[in-house]
Amino acid sequence: MTWRRVGLALSLAAVATVSSACGVPDHGPPVTITKVPYDLTRPEPKKTGAPTASATARPYVYLVRDEALVPVPSSVTEVGDRAAAVTSVLSQLTEGPSEQDRTAGLSTALGPDTPVHLARLEGSVARIDIATGDQVPPASRVPLAVAQVVLTVTSVPGVDSVLVTRDGAPVELPLPGGALTSGPVTGRDYISLVEARSPGTATTAPLT
């Protein structure tokens, strides 16, 4: 019984008490009511609504413009399988910007043909194995490259953090402030690198 129904039942009891006090004829001893009016004892049906935004949000691929990150809608329109969605957005990210993206001034801090793949999902943590290959980004652009991977992966609904590994072993990642960490990182750790004027930045960049 919900609080609304409890209140209604109490109101009915109060009306009965006031009526008795106002001189309404007493027709006998109190009678136990076996049938509660207005279906007060019937459980309310559970409310169902549309899927939440986090379950239907479209993942993004993060590219670089003027040393800042810009979210670009990915080709993934439905996230029924998180692992498949992460694999897809990583594939788009490693392919680099399209011709249209380059025309818009977008580039990538990831080296050409940089191997980046999903090792496995552990709950809401994605273990991403990454190798630098022969083309190592300049030290000043390594945080951008890492941020591209982290923000792209955590834009997939249900993925909250990323643990980057090399050959299965966690690696130290640079944070925007210069600190290093070998633990899982979130989009919040790199939100300062997202372009301020990017449409939808507040909702596309994860804040977990």
pLDDT tens sequence across 90-133:
999 999 999 999 999 999 998 777 889 999 999 999 999 987 55
Contact yes or no for 114/130 (Cβ under 8 A): yes
CA dist 36 → 119, 150, 183 (Å)? 59, 58, 59
Q: What is the pLDDT of residue 7?
A: 40
Give residue 193's Cα distance to chain centre.
Answer: 19
Contact yes or no for 149/164 (Cβ under 8 A): yes
Give residue 75's Cα distance to chain centre.
Answer: 18
Pick the closest to residue 194 from 180, 183, 178, 205 (CA basis). Answer: 205
Q: Maximum distance among all alpha carbons in the chain?
A: 98
pLDDT-derived band of residue 206, with 50, 70 and 90 as boundaries?
very low
User: How do residues 29-71 score in pLDDT, each as one tens digit?
Assistant: 555 545 444 444 444 434 333 333 344 578 999 999 999 999 9
Contact yes or no for 58/200 (Cβ under 8 A): no
Cα–Cα distance, 203 to 201 (Å, whole number):
5
> Which runs of E-coded beta strand occur in the chain?
60-65, 68-73, 116-122, 125-130, 161-166, 169-170, 173-174, 180-181
Query: Which residue's entry shows tokens 């993060």?
Result: 62
| DSSP 8-state secondary structure symbol assigned to residue 46 | P
19's enclosing H/E stretch is helix 3-21
Based on the number of CB atoms within 10 Å of its own CB, is 99 exposed (0-12), middle (13-18) or buried (19 or more)?
A: exposed
Q: What is the pLDDT of residue 13?
A: 41
Query: How large is the angle between the packed helices 82-95 and 142-154, nearest 10 degrees?
Result: 150
Q: By percentage, how much of the chain surpasses pLDDT 70?
A: 64
